[in-house]
Amino acid sequence: MKLCPTCKTELDGDASFCPHDADILIAKQDAADPDPRLGTALGGRYLLVRRIADGANGRVYEARDTTDRSRLAVKVLHKEVARDATSCERLKREAETALTLDDPHVLRVIGYFEEPPNAHYLVMEFLEGEELSALLAREKRLPLARTLRLLSQVSAALDHAHDRGLIHRDLKPENIFICRSEEGDEVKILDFGSVKLQEEKGPKLTAFGTTLGSPYYMAPEQALALPTLDRRADVFAVGAILYEMITGKIAFAGHNVATILFKLLNEEPLPPTVQAEGLPAEVDDVLEEALAKQPGLRFPTVGALADSFGRSLGVAGTPAEWGKTAVSALEEKMGSARPAPAPPRGEQTAPVPVDSPARPSGPRADPVLMDDRISLDFGPRPGPSPLVIAALAVGGVAVLGALGVMLWLLT
């Protein structure tokens, strides 16, 4: 049931506009919602018609542009958040960053606006579909051909941003949105609010000892709060997401942030072929390189990761082609040339230590990337005291980041 906010007429069906006064209809349940913004037009232009989602920082609405009746999404900061200058600056940065990007797989942002006293909002294209996190929660594990199409589109968007000196820093399944089209899945990368310029100047939005990002997908150098992040931090995050897509398991799982980050810094995940059946053995090598602790040992770009993954499946072509190819066609290519699945392997339960022999490989194409290695070999040293463990459990990312920097400096 929908309601016209002007004449209060109630209408069934899929109508979007009132037949009496052509006003935009809103959901009846939203009309009774105490949210005072529903039915109002921000800036006199963007009419908020439905609440879509709530987050820690703001609320997202479906909106109509009253000038052309186009369907949009509007993200409005919560009032208490809008009083914080850093939060406002981050939302503004998200808009400014997105406006510099011109890729079909990046969420299109219309603009950032402020209305006194505390209305700060972002106007964006309206997306229909679901987050990758919702898809994984339902399907657990994705078919390889579908994964290849999605990964290829993600790589196009991120390489586009990276070539402009922008690092996302908060890649996770929740920030990869999947739209449906006649051609198949279409990816949109969301939330560039945590973006970092590789040669950043101006005020910082984080303090020493803190970091932005999601611990499950955070690169080791980001967990250590090191200031020298580059595109390879995003390569690591995409590798962790890819691992989850093809195995149905999180690469670095734990019951709290401290445990997750300890594993991230000190352990290697089980090979994908141990975690899931039907994967070619070559996939293990791809994920080993993507999730290397040292940035210089990773793929130099997300595109290189996507290319290597496709070739591990026996698919000819390039990520640019795979991202536009129907899943059924990719499956046919895989069926004709796909390597045999890895033979069953014995059960592995013990983590692989960081200082185990590295996989033999030739020199990287970009030798400069090999020079800025970070030291992650903390041992052998006495184990942390119970006091330190308690501090990590309480402090989470910030405490572990600061402790990690100290250990790194002492190594």
Q: Which residues are catalytic?
A: 170
Sheet holding 184-189, edge to edge: 129-131, 176-181, 184-189
Q: Phi first, then psi: what are they for 138, rounded to 5°?
A: -85, -45
Who's near 24: CB < 8 A, 6+ residues apart?
Answer: 5, 16, 17, 18, 47, 49, 64, 66, 69
Diameter of the chain measured on Cα atoms: 77
Show Cβ contacts of residue 343 under 8 Å, excluding neighbours closer than 6 positions.
Answer: none
Amino acid symbol at 406:
M
According to DSSP, the residues that pair with 62 across neighbouring strands are 50, 73
What is the rounded distance in angstroms from the CA atom of residue 308 to the CA atom of residue 285? 9
Residue whose token pair is 């039907």: 278
| Cα angle: 231, vertex 234, 237; to 5 degrees | 160
Judged on CB neighbours under 10 Å (0-12, 13-18, 19+), 374 is: middle
Q: Which residues lie below 8 Å from residue 154, measured CB to CB, with a gap of 6+?
A: 105, 176, 187, 189, 238, 302, 306
Distance of CA 284 to CAs 248, 275, 333, 340, 358, Å?
15, 11, 21, 13, 13
Contacts of 323 (CB under 8 A, 6+ apart): 105, 149, 152, 153, 155, 156
For residue 81, give Cα distances in angstroms to 38, 84, 113: 19, 5, 15
Cα 153 to Cα 266: distance, rounded to the nearest angstrom: 31
Two tokens, residue 282: 């070559």
- CA-to-CA separations, 169 to 73, 183, 195, 218, 236, in angstroms, rounded: 23, 30, 6, 8, 10
Residues listed for the chain: 411
